[in-house]
Structure 1
Amino acid sequence: MIDWYRRKTWTNKDEEEFFAKLKRARVEGRAQYLKIQAIELVETKEKHLLDIAEALLNKVLTEYPESKIETSSVLHTLGDIYRLRANYEKALEYYGQSLDFEKVFPKVITTSYLDFSELVVKTASANLYNFTEALLEDKLAEQLFPVAKYKMCSILSIINHEKGNLVKAKYYHDLAEENANAETSGLRYHKHLGVVVKRDSWLDKMMGRNISFL
């Protein structure tokens, strides 16, 4: 049986049942239930459900501002909604807000740093290249999984190529390839966790286009 806060539909009955159960839930857990339900709806990628998800997430921010443990994730998911709507400027704004919040409340760290950075290069937002480069270089050392390193190094290679830093572009290109081809994560008990299963065709295409620095 599906949990009442993990619905993939939003009929009138769904809405009535959800808010009835939410009202009976402990106050300190309501923000989390709203967020989880919103994420479930976002995963459908259906336009009208994205609108519902946005409304639920905004309820978290306006009605439960004290639930700081949910805030970064809520902002990140709002970024996902606007990315799916192809409103990339707004998506970057929300991802940026999530990153800013994580600086003051680092107990919860989302993938906003990676989604923000990937969107920067995919939209060729040159005004954000320096910020993105510093952001990823700061995050790179703490990454465990090859899949994250592969994407981060690919983005860093593209940015440095666009900036004319060809030595750094090649350095990150080689690191991206190394992590893309890694067969294990290096973890003792979860050797295959976080390895690259499917490469990002767009990032690979961009790095291939920039092969001139080799």
Structure 2
Amino acid sequence: MSSEDWYRNETWEEDIEAAFFAKLKRSRSQRDQYLVIQAVYLKDKFPDKALELIDIYFETKSTIYHDGRAWDVRRDVYLAVEKYDDAINCMKISLQIERENPKFQGTSATMYPYLIATRAIKHEYESVLAFLDSIELKSPFPDAHFKWNAALGLIHADLKNIPKSKYHAKLALEAAEVKQSPFRYHRSLGVVGHEHSDTIRKLEKILTATRPIDVLNFFKRN
């Protein structure tokens, strides 16, 4: 085991947990970071344990430096179990942290509007549109531009603003066609994956529609 493996466990049993907390107890300046990193490694297979570690982080943290990443772990766990209200709350807190600390660059800036649009959560539309209008997307990744424009395309379609919905649907679909990231040694990083195929199909129908769309019924039918 390397010197860093002890806080990057991908499985979690009693002996592993005991060893982790024993080493954590001896840690000083980087204790907060170790808790959050370990939670990141556990959030997919051991979500409850990941949340426990994040709770410990917030109860014992010495600085606010890792708050954004900690909220992102909570967000991802809630999204996995479809607790969307809790996930949205985490996203909003993460975005506030990002505004106050530009050094933290999370992923909620695109995940938040994309979730609202794809789940047709109408009471959040106004907030999402105001948010997207307030910032500039600077990400080099195709999937960020896809989610950004897909959100605008779907929301404007629901609001019967057909010109805007078609415009952003076109931009989203163009981003989905990009098969390589701009990073030479990580060509697959940040490209649009197959998990977005349903959204792509909806955007294609928006782009070819000749009349206003009832998006709620549209989602139910497709």
TM-score (normalised: structure 1): 0.86
Opposite residue 135 of structure 1, the aligned amino acid is: F
Q: Which residue does the alignment assign to 2:8?
A: 6
Contiguous gaps of at least 5 residues in structure 2:
212-222
- 2:126, 2:35 → 1: CA distance? 36
Determine if the alignment matches structure 1 residue 80 to structure 2 residue 76.
yes
Shift of 1:43: 2.6
Q: Which residue does the alignment assign to 1:182?
A: 178
Opposite residue 55 of structure 2, the aligned amino acid is: N
Moved more, 164-173 or 142-151: 142-151
Is contact 2:149–2:171 with CA below 8 Å preserved after alignment? yes
- Match for 1:212 among 209, 214, 221? 209
- 1:184, 1:68 → 2: CA distance? 35
Opposite residue 203 of structure 2, the aligned amino acid is: M
Determine if the alignment matches structure 1 residue 146 to structure 2 residue 148.
no
Shift of 1:119: 1.8
Contiguous gaps of at least 5 residues in structure 1:
none
Determine if the alignment matches structure 1 residue 93 to structure 2 residue 89.
yes
Opposite residue 164 of structure 1, the aligned amino acid is: K
Q: Which residue does the alignment assign to 1:33?
A: 34
* Percent identity (aligned): 29
Shift of 1:133: 2.4
Is contact 1:140–1:149 with CA below 8 Å preserved after alignment? no
Opposite residue 148 of structure 1, the aligned amino acid is: A
Q: 1:191 to 1:170 in 2, by over 3 A?
A: farther
Q: Which residue does the alignment assign to 1:54?
A: 51
Shift of 1:139: 4.3
Q: 1:191 to 1:81 in 2, by over 3 A?
A: closer
Is contact 1:146–1:194 with CA below 8 Å preserved after alignment? no
Q: For 1:134-173, list aligned pairs within 5 A.
A: 134-173=130-169
- Match for 2:22 among 17, 20, 23? 20
State the aligned residue count.
Answer: 207
- 2:69, 2:89 → 1: CA distance? 14
Moved more, 140-149 or 168-177: 140-149
Determine if the alignment matches structure 1 residue 133 to structure 2 residue 134.
no
Q: Which residue does the alignment assign to 1:63?
A: 60
Q: 1:197 to 1:83 in 2, by over 3 A?
A: closer
